[in-house]
Structure 1
Amino acid sequence: MARARGNPLKGVLDGGSSTRRSRGLFSFIGEVWTELNRVTWPSRETATRLTMLVLAVTVVAAIFLGIWDFGFTQIADRYIN
């Protein structure tokens, strides 16, 4: 893991100047951009397939929970009324 250079809170805790803060912001954005370029992104086909899988599992879970909720509501209504 890379070690941070210097104190990451320098300029934040003491107020710092706006130019120091803006340089820090641009540096941060540049580092984020560099890391995003290093990521191995999935292909469009893989991303679409996995998205469909997540949606299908969500629908199945919603149906399952809906059936359980309906069943418990029916049982509770019989005992309450």
Structure 2
Amino acid sequence: MQKKSKTWIFKRIGNFLKESWQELKRVSWPTKDKVFESVLMVILITVIVAIYLGLWDAVFTFLRNKFL
């Protein structure tokens, strides 16, 4: 009984890996240019948000030090 359940588990794992590989073949992957463009956009937006938050932090720090 134990041996049968082990082979059954290995067959299920094998089927899962095989089906996963087949599914990955069907995926339409983005081109290098599209990936580069997306990464650049994420970096740009991150920098803009960091500057925006940094400026507000500086304003509130100044106000806190001025009035407290």
CA distance in 1, matches of 2:13, 2:49: 42
Summarize the alignment of residues 37-48 of structure 1 with structure 2, pairs less than 5 Å apart: 37-48=25-36
Compute the TM-score of the two structures, normalised by the length of structure 1: 0.65
Pairwise CA distance, 1:58: 0.9
Name the Cα RMSD after superposition: 1.9
Greater RCO (CA < 8 Å, at least 6 residues apart): 1
What count of residue pairs does the alignment treat as equivalent?
65
Q: 5+ residue gaps in structure 1?
A: 1-15
Among all aligned residue pairs of Structure 1 and Structure 2, give the percentage whose two residues are the same amino acid. 34
Compute the TM-score of the two structures, normalised by the length of structure 2: 0.75
Q: 5+ residue gaps in structure 2?
A: none
Q: Which has a greater percent of helix?
A: 2
